Amino acid sequence: MIQTVPTTPFEGQKPGTSGLRKKVRVFQQPGYAEAFIQSVFDVVERPAGAALVIGGDGRFHNRTVIARAIQMAAANGYARVLVGQGGILSTPAASHVIRKYGASGGLILSASHNPGGPDEDFGIKYNIANGGPAPEAVTEAIYARTQVIDRWMMVEGDVDLDRIGTSQIGDMTVDVIDSVADYADLMEELFDFDAIRAAVHDGLSMAFDAMHAVTGPYAHEILERRLGFREGTVHNGHPLEDFGGHHPDPNLVHARVLYDLMMSDDAPALGAASDGDGDRNLIIGKGVFITPSDSLAMLAANAHLAPAYAGGLKGIARSMPTSAAADRVAAALGIPLWETPTGWKFFGTLLDAGMATICGEESAGTGSDHVREKDGLW
User: What whole-number distance in Å separates Cα of residue 367 and Cα of residue 106?
Assistant: 19
- Over residues 74-133, the pLDDT tens digits come to 999 999 999 999 999 999 999 999 999 999 999 999 998 888 999 999 999 999 999 999
Q: What is the pTM of this model?
A: 0.96
- Produce one character per residue of 119-149: b if its CB has 16 or more CB atoms within 10 Å, e if not: ebbbbbbbbbbbbbbbeeebbebbbebbeeb
Q: What is the pLDDT of residue 16?
A: 84
Q: What is the pLDDT of residue 114?
A: 87
Is 12 exposed, middle or buried, given 0-12, 13-18 or 19+ CB atoms closer than 10 A?
exposed
User: Do 273 and 258 touch, CB atoms closer than 8 A?
Assistant: yes
More confident residue, 16 or 62: 62
- Over residues 232-260, the pLDDT tens digits come to 999 999 999 999 999 999 999 999 999 99
User: What whole-number distance in Å separates Cα of residue 335 and Cα of residue 315?
Assistant: 5
Give residue 33's identity as a one-letter amino acid code: A
User: What whole-number distance in Å separates Cα of residue 120 and Cα of residue 11?
Assistant: 19
- Choose among 365, 96, 375, 64: nearest CA to 241: 64
User: Do 273 and 282 touch, CB atoms closer than 8 A?
Assistant: yes
Mean pLDDT of 289-313: 95
- Give yes or no: 18 in active site: no
Mean pLDDT of 129-151: 96
Read off φ and ψ for residue 295, nearest 5 degrees.
-60, -50
Name the active-site residue from 112, 274, 293, 363: 112
Instruction: Name residues whose C-beta falls within 8 Å of residue 73's C-beta, 6 or more positions apart in sequence.
Output: 41, 52, 54, 81, 172
Give residue 116's identity as a one-letter amino acid code: G
